[in-house]
Structure 1
Amino acid sequence: MKREASCSCGTLSITAKGEPVKISVCHCRECQRRTGSAFGVAVFFDKERVAASGASNSYTRSGDSGRSIEFRFCPACGSTVFWMPEFREDLVAVALGCFDEPSSLVPEQSVYEENRMGWVGLDLLGGDCQSRKP
Structure 2
Amino acid sequence: MPLTGHCLCNAVTYSVDVDEPLITAYDHCDDCQRQSGSTYSLVAVVPKAKLTVKGPVKTWTGKGSSGNAVHRSFCSECGSPIAHDPDAAPEIIALKAGTLDTEIKKNLKPDTEIWTVSKLPFCQEHLAKPFKHMPE
Which TM-score applies when normalising by structure 2?
A: 0.88
Structure 2: how far apart are the matches of 1:75 and 1:97?
A: 17
Contact 1:47 1:91 (8 Å CA) reproduced: yes
State how 1:13-52 maps to structure 2 within 5 Å: 13-18=13-18, 19-52=20-53
Aligned to 1:82: 83
Aligned to 2:119: 116
* Alignment deviations for residues 14-55 of structure 1 (CA, whole Å, 9 cap, x no partner): 101212111221111111111100001221111121100011
Give how far 1:122 is off: 5.2
Stretches of structure 2 lacking an aligned partner (at least 5 in a row): none
CA contact (8 A) 1:108 1:130 kept: no
Partner of 2:8: 8
Q: Distance in 2 between matches of 1:115 and 1:98?
A: 23
Counterpart of 1:91, as a letter, is I
User: Which residue among 95, 98, 109 is the counterpart of 1:106?
Assistant: 109
* TM-score of the aligned structures, taking structure 1 as reference length: 0.90
SS of equivalent to 2:14: strand
Distance in structure 1 (CA, Å) of the matches to 2:14 and 2:105: 14
Matched residue of 2:109: which SS? coil
Deviation at residue 130 of structure 1 after TM alignment: 2.8
- What fraction of aligned residue pairs are identical, expressed as a percent? 23
Q: Secondary structure at the residue paired with 1:130?
A: coil
Cα distance in 2 for partners of 1:37, 1:12 equals: 22
Task: Please tell me the root mean square deviation across aligned C-alpha atoms, in Å.
Answer: 1.5
1:6 CA drift (Å): 0.8
